[in-house]
Amino acid sequence: MEKLRASIICSLAFLAAIPSWADSLSCSNSVVTTSVQQAEHGELVCSAVEQAAVLFDQCNVPALSSPVHISVVDQLKPGCVALYHCGEGRIEVLSPPNMQELRDPDGAFIHLGIDEYFQSVVIHELSHAATYGIPCPFEECVTAHEYIAYAMQVMSLSSEAQSIFEDRSGLDRSISSDELSAIILFMAPHLFSQKVWGHLSQRKDPCGYIGQIVDGSVLLDRERF
């Protein structure tokens, strides 16, 4: 994701009205709450939460069952646009204006408008919350978690935006799982996201493949020595 380390078609049902004075609210039919300074940001968050719920159900990602709180903030550690605090049920995400300032003009998602990008980032982080605790034989399975999160992020985009994402990647060849390493993730997250989508798109049953990662029958990570 664009400068995001710690830290993707479905139709949207519109949410219950959010009052203009809201700074803390619960998203409808969800375990997610959010704290915002501007009501429109709360609308974006809760819309992304609803989209994520439908997408997760369609693609074998566990539904959110424990409370998750999303704080829309003005500042995070350098280079981050969002952060899931592992096991704490807590997500921080930059507000759209602050997120816009950090966007890489050559980033994989730069073709998105800021609101669509912001919502895709929220869905990415919700994917981390949903998959926290999936089977992992090693100390951590960062590749698996980020694979699912980027997959959900791109899946959340419109068909047109997905096509542009694919065209901009320039990856018109078969992508091996060996190319999906934690090293690439941390050194070139833009490229990692593009390779994830290229690899997933080449599966006969993409959502079935996601399910296999979730249940541990497909292992993308390797033991670190």
Please answer whether residues 1 and 147 qualify as being in contact, where contact means their C-beta atoms are separated by less than 8 angstroms. no
Phi and psi at 152, nearest 5°, equal: -65, -35
- Residue 52 burial by CB count (10 A; 0-12/13-18/19+): exposed, middle or buried? buried
How many CB atoms lie under 10 A from the CB of residue 175? 18
Per-residue pLDDT of the chain (225 residues; tens, 9 = 90+): 433 333 422 222 223 333 333 468 899 999 999 999 899 999 999 999 999 999 999 999 999 999 999 999 999 988 899 999 998 999 999 999 999 999 999 999 999 999 999 999 999 999 999 999 999 999 889 999 999 999 999 999 999 999 999 999 988 888 989 899 889 999 999 999 999 999 999 999 999 999 999 999 999 988 765
Parse the chain into domains and list their residue ranges: 1-225
Here the tokens at position 206 are 């993409």
1-225 architecture in CATH? Answer: Orthogonal Bundle (1.10)
Here the tokens at position 151 are 């997959």
